[in-house]
Amino acid sequence: MARTGRPREFDRQAALEAALTLFWKQGYEPTSLSQLKEVMGGISPTSFYAAFGSKEQLFEEVVELYRSTEGRVADVLFDEETSPRSAIERCLRQSAKMQTDPSHPLGCLIVSGASNCGSTADQVVELLRTVRKKNHEALRGQIRRAVAIGDLPDNTDIDGLTEMFGTFLVGISTAARDGAKSSDLDRSVDHIMRFWVEA
């Protein structure tokens, strides 16, 4: 009589990484539970809900995983040991390089993950908006710090400069998904940094 082997143990981390890739590629709303369960190792509905609670809770974990891995390119915006100009420039260049890397889905999960969601996903939309706002305020903080330490003139339009760099940062995602090359975006960073008029 053939012996039945032990069932394969569920690898939660591998499943989470697979979900990240799928959400990153498709976005929250278009990604179905059946697709998630398939890429996460063919787990049963019972195992899925026991491990992650719900699709929304899974996505929240995915966002945290993203922010601790590829999404770390924006962490430099919160670094006050780096000069403000260098912090912003490094963020833009690192983001362009990461988002055009073909080893994973193109673009940024934080920007595009909930771009096509309906009202049933309000919490997901707000989650990503909150992350983007934190990055935006970190940009503003670096520009304010630059004025305070004399790296930018006292009459600098802080809000205008923040919006310019912030719009460029989130726009990288669309450009990357539309096929922009890392080298092209890097040259664009050269141009946008020329708007940094030092005191």
User: What pLDDT score does 5 carry?
Assistant: 47
User: What pLDDT score does 6 carry?
Assistant: 47
User: What pLDDT score does 8 carry?
Assistant: 52
Could you tell me which CATH class the domain 72-195 is placed in? mainly alpha
> In whole angstroms, what is the distance from residue 192 CA to residue 187 CA?
9
Helices (H), the chain: 12-26, 33-39, 45-52, 55-68, 84-99, 109-112, 122-148, 158-177, 182-192
User: What pLDDT score does 121 carry?
Assistant: 76
User: What pLDDT score does 115 carry?
Assistant: 82
Could you tell me which CATH class the domain 12-65 is placed in? mainly alpha
| Mean pLDDT split into 10-residue runs, the chain, 199 residues | 53 95 96 95 91 95 97 97 97 98 98 81 92 98 97 96 97 97 97 88
Q: Which two tokens stand for residue 82?
A: 């780096």
User: What pLDDT score does 146 carry?
Assistant: 98
User: What pLDDT score does 199 carry?
Assistant: 59
Q: Where are the domains of the chain?
A: 12-65, 72-195
Q: Which two tokens stand for residue 67?
A: 């922010």
| Cα angle 97, 111, 92; round to 5 | 35
- Residue-wise pLDDT for 51-69, tens only, equals 999 999 999 999 999 999 9
User: What pLDDT score does 1 carry?
Assistant: 47
- Residue-wise pLDDT for 169-187, tens only, equals 999 999 999 999 999 999 9
Is-above-0.75 flag for pTM? yes
